[in-house]
Structure 1
Amino acid sequence: MLDQLRRSVFDVLIIGGGITGAGVALDAAARGLRVALVERRDFASGTSCSSTKLVHGGIRYLPQLGIGLVREALVERGLLLRNAPRLVEPLLFVLPIYRFNRRPLGLRYVPPAGPLRLGYLELGLLAYDLLAGRRNIERHRRLNLVVVQDIVPALRTDGLLGTFGYFDARTNDARLVMNVLASARRHGATICNYCAVIGFERSGGQLRAAQVRDELTGEEFTIQARIFVNATGIWGEEIERLALGASTVHIVPSKEVHLVLPQERIGVTQAAVVIPETSDGRLLFVIPYEGRAILGTTDTGAGPLDDPRADDTDVDFLLDHANQYFDVGLSRADVISAYAGYRPLIRRGVAEVTAQLSRSHELIEHESGLISILGGKLTTYRRMAEETVARIQRRLGQPVRHVTARLPLVGRERLEEAVPEIVSLAQQLSVEESVPWLLRAYGTDARSVLELAAEDERLASPIVPGLPYLLAEVVYACRNELALRIGDVLERRTWVLFADRQHGLGALSAVGELMARELGWKPDELACQMDTYRQRVLALCASEQGIGASLAAT
């Protein structure tokens, strides 16, 4: 693959392997362009694996009058539900409104508590339904107390004014990136992780090649291209400075922190819950996800961009607000894990705080041949890519054609027809409990994962008992998804690091040995890789036995 990057001249080189870069790679390759993509770390290792796991219109943007952003996101939500079935799935959201809420959903004007307030909020939900148009999932509804207590038994009812139910969608963000990248490769794109752009070569005022360093070997080489796309998110200014000498955009990173909790403690299993108001004027979500519950998110200032972490203030903020709405008495000891990332927000005006900054994207074309696509939301990645590639085609003098609105992701076409065969194979291997996860993560390629387990029965064992991830996925990730480090598998190809109270450390030897066999690691390299993963766990969780115990002791 590195040889192909060195030898070829590409129409477009995409810098950044998150959801934005992956989307551009797929769109460009599907239009017949010669495409390369490089990522300095692993794919989806930044913002694209640290989201709230939602594909949604963004109900909280309506009070900010972000009608265009909400409409665009709702349309894209509908397309993703069709083009990535099971990976993107509808989800009911329970929205309780209490008498003590002063400005629920960040509303600027709120009628007095009572029927008028509920009616006012219902108008917003009606607008949300209407903006989705024919791609709406289901219409919102009012939920009576009996239904609410059945769906979310731990939700406080003292002072409950009324409850709504509306629909959005949920996804596995890192697996979405992997699926989009796999689709790009299927259309001929060349992609490579652990390759950092460290400079550019110019001629006649135009960028001609990117100088790239292999982060695993230290080797440096160049990649020639006609157009260069900066899709690096929070690092967008850095790439612009490398290419142009100065940045033309101001990115304001906003830290978002999420806690992973046991579903049984908070009682969120069937539907998501919206915490309608926080002390800083936003809202929070509690999302059922991969057998756990995700609570988030914060919206605070930035720290080290390469190493975002949850601190005590973040954890306490989230737990305190959850305990205002759930009658369960959550404590730090309940926290299985925490994860943090940065939203790449674009400052366009005089907004003082990150919560006021727009989540819309910015597309900037430079005469030198660099195009920056920055900002935006996970949900709208396809639209961002479509706009970017249209700009590329015009720059190359080609007719513009849009191809991805009806393009299923790899493994998603005729998926339901393949389900019986996949279920049957899983039953033969006694791993039928893993089928829902495998279908979400791989689509029809779940069959390939199970066939690996059929060839070697040891691979039918779970990576961690009680979780759906199989050892066969370790081998599949090495052979098909460019997994090159243990964290690539346990943190992004699967969700073991966050779902397991021991963060995958109990499976470290088994996973490491499988990867060593696949990737040709010698014993000293295996030891180094295992130590790197241990250090990653300690950095993220400050404990090898579940973050809750460590946090409770601080």
Structure 2
Amino acid sequence: MSRHGASAWSRRTILEKLRQGDGHYDLVIIGGGITGAGILREAARIGLRVLLVEQRDFAWGASSRSSKMVHGGLRYLGSGHVGLTRDAVRERQRLLDEAPGLVEPLPFVWPHYRKQFPWPRIFGALLTVYDWMAGRRNHEYLKGERVLDWVPGLNRAGLYGGTRFGDAVTDDARLVLRVLHEGVEDGGDVLNYVRAERVIREEGRVTGLDIWDVAGDSRVSIKTDLVINATGAWTDELRAQCGASRTLRPLRGSHLVFPFWRLPVACTVSLFHPDDGRPVFVFPWEGVTVVGTTDLDHQADPQDEARIMPQEVDYLLAIVDRVFPYSGVGRSDVLACWAGVRPVVGGHSRDPSRENREHAIWDDGGLISVAGGKLTTFRPIALEVLEQSLPYLDTDVSAPTGGPVFDPVPPTSHRPKGISARQWRRLQGHYGGRLSEVLAAGPLEPVASTGTLWAELVWSARNENVEHLDDLLLRRTRLGLILPRGAEAILDRVQALCEPVLDWSSRRWGEERRRYLDLWRRAYSLPQAGDRT
């Protein structure tokens, strides 16, 4: 049980307190992605009374739809963004050390072909700097067909070697949730399905925030000294209330998911796409193989679920065919898709991939906004935002110094029978100090052919503010992305186990099932040929 108590994850309890006018917060964070979660964690750590609100579900936006890479951004080093790369490399190592099982090392292989950039010596020199930043050497040149030992099935035409180097991978949505749990442990409150509507000012100073409870269909006012806008692709919308001009360039990145047996890879394979020269990855994740990503201007309404477009499917299938020409993989093999919108601080580059990925912070008189940056660097971004926030707070706290993101996992019972060492490591990483609760929540058997346990669904349904079925199947777990047809075949058992703890009626379950499957078909399966956005 959390030191802060179960009520910190109870929407009903928190909203009732707010409706009664009981609860003045030092600051309110708008946005439940990795940036907002990181700020909550650091603010609660130094004793601030802090509330995080999210208009949809936690990690609903880019923070559940990323490329899952916790990396230093080798391409950014090549573009001269040394500071961004240095910070990211250091944070990558911190996360690997603090959260094994959640953030895991993953080898990368870059094959070298004749007359194709980058050449091994240039690439090796870049990696030497990369490894120096990390404080350890972790790359080697694979001469000739040695690269095939790492990547069987690789295109051999013109292949003369490859370079292996190291980075990391994560479940981005569970990373957000675990960071939120750490913030709640230290006293923070969190609310999903609550939309920020208006920043309240008196005599030029922020004094509160009006929010709309989407689930309860009611308006609530919150008293606070400071509002932090960490809404990613929606940042400009709230800043417009202060008269600020638009600064973000929303860019869509899309991915394809294949059964692992159909496209087996034991490492990340990366190569420049022949159409536009941007790096594309083929990598193992959660028992499947993922191919991504694209980088296109996103013109659709940000309130709608981002979805992959037909031209992006063709773009990603083209690189699969180039890298693995003997696989015969095609559209019929795709299990699922996902698309996310990156909140890139806009420039004027004709090529979206050349836009600066550094974060930016704006201070609009007590409304502090932050956008940009990388999944890997959420912690230093949070520390910088809080340092700029302290002058607005009527409280005597010191600037955060940045201790561990994750508290040490307390000793739990021995690994239960039937759970492999790999599953055990994953469970410890995903749930930290709540693991004993997870193990007691339900059956300790895997769901279908995945590494997810049924107990995980039951525990999340009871403890993590699941308001809709897609919360459970697309973010609390990733079953909707890694099982055929959005995991439709297991929904009856999900209902049997989770409906009682969700306190849903049979009618509500039926509505949620239809809603989820419709959403999956629209946004997470292959698009129709006529779709263009």
Please give the TM-score of this superposition, normalised by the length of structure 1. 0.88
Does the 8 Å CA contact 1:90/1:167 hold for their aligned counterparts? yes
Residue 354 and residue 313 in structure 1: after superposition, are their counterparts in 2 closer, same or farther (change >3 A)? same
Quote the offset at 1:381 in angstroms: 0.5
Deviations 1:440-480 (A, max 9, x none): 42235333212223xxxxx33444x1112222222211222
Q: 1:379 aligns with which of 372, 376, 379?
A: 376
Does the 8 Å CA contact 1:486/1:512 hold for their aligned counterparts? no
Give the 5 Å matches for 1:205-220.
205-220=204-219
Does the 8 Å CA contact 1:431/1:460 hold for their aligned counterparts? no
Quote the offset at 1:256 in angstroms: 0.1
Q: Which residue of 1 aligns with 2:332?
A: 333
Does the 8 Å CA contact 2:31/2:52 hold for their aligned counterparts? yes
Q: Secondary structure of 2:485's match?
A: coil
Could you tell me the percent identity over the aligned residues?
Answer: 34
Quote the offset at 1:286 in angstroms: 1.2
2-structure distance, mates of 1:50, 1:438: 21
Quote the offset at 1:436 in angstroms: 4.6
Partner amino acid for 2:510?
A
Give the 5 Å matches for 1:71-150.
71-101=86-116, 103-104=117-118, 117-132=119-134, 134=135, 136=136, 138-150=137-149
Deviates more, 1:144-153 or 1:315-324: 144-153
Does the 8 Å CA contact 1:362/1:373 hold for their aligned counterparts? yes
Quote the offset at 1:275 in angstroms: 1.5
Give the 5 Å matches for 1:534-545.
534-542=517-525
Quote the offset at 1:432 in angstroms: 7.3
Q: Secondary structure of 2:284's match?
A: strand
Quote the offset at 1:364 in angstroms: 1.0
Q: 1:356 aligns with which of 354, 357, 361?
A: 354
Partner amino acid for 2:24?
V
Q: 1:525 aligns with which of 492, 503, 508?
A: 508
2-structure distance, mates of 1:217, 1:461: 35
Deviations 1:522-553 (A, max 9, x none): 232222211111111121245xxxx59x88xx
Q: Which residue of 2 aligns with 1:276?
A: 272
Does the 8 Å CA contact 1:12/1:35 hold for their aligned counterparts? yes
Quote the offset at 1:166 in angstroms: 0.7
Q: 1:41 aligns with which of 56, 64, 68?
A: 56
Q: Secondary structure of 1:32's match?
A: coil
Quote the offset at 1:408 in angstroms: 4.4
Residue 403 and residue 494 in structure 1: after superposition, are their counterparts in 2 closer, same or farther (change >3 A)? same
Does the 8 Å CA contact 1:394/1:400 hold for their aligned counterparts? no
Does the 8 Å CA contact 2:24/2:223 hold for their aligned counterparts? yes
Residue 221 and residue 529 in structure 1: after superposition, are their counterparts in 2 closer, same or farther (change >3 A)? same
Quote the offset at 1:266 in angstroms: 2.3
Q: Which residue of 2 aligns with 1:111?
A: none
2-structure distance, mates of 1:223, 1:82: 38
Does the 8 Å CA contact 1:12/1:226 hold for their aligned counterparts? yes
When the two chains are superposed, the root-mean-square deviation of aligned CA atoms in Å is 2.1
Q: Does 1:480 align with 2:454?
A: no
Partner amino acid for 1:91?
L
Q: 1:66 aligns with which of 76, 81, 96?
A: 81
2-structure distance, mates of 1:491, 1:53: 14
Tell me, which stretches of 5 or more residues in structure 1 are unaligned? 105-116, 454-458
Does the 8 Å CA contact 1:95/1:276 hold for their aligned counterparts? no
Q: Which residue of 2 aligns with 1:438?
A: 427
Deviations 1:148-206 (A, max 9, x none): 22221011122113211111111110000000000000010010100011123221122
Q: 1:262 aligns with which of 253, 259, 271?
A: 259
Q: Secondary structure of 1:442's match?
A: helix
Does the 8 Å CA contact 2:30/2:36 hold for their aligned counterparts? yes
Does the 8 Å CA contact 1:30/1:403 hold for their aligned counterparts? no
Q: Secondary structure of 1:265's match?
A: coil
Q: Secondary structure of 1:94's match?
A: strand
Q: Does 1:308 align with 2:279?
A: no
1-structure distance, mates of 2:524, 2:169: 25
Partner amino acid for 2:163?
F
Residue 355 and residue 528 in structure 1: after superposition, are their counterparts in 2 closer, same or farther (change >3 A)? same
2-structure distance, mates of 1:408, 1:241: 32
Q: Secondary structure of 2:72's match?
A: coil
Q: Which residue of 2 aligns with 1:460?
A: 444
Does the 8 Å CA contact 1:361/1:374 hold for their aligned counterparts? yes
Higher helix share: 1
Residue 39 and residue 264 in structure 1: after superposition, are their counterparts in 2 closer, same or farther (change >3 A)? same
Q: Which residue of 2 aligns with 1:391?
A: 388
2-structure distance, mates of 1:426, 1:532: 37
2-structure distance, mates of 1:70, 1:280: 23
Residue 220 and residue 288 in structure 1: after superposition, are their counterparts in 2 closer, same or farther (change >3 A)? same
2-structure distance, mates of 1:309, 1:259: 11
Q: Which residue of 2 aligns with 1:114?
A: none
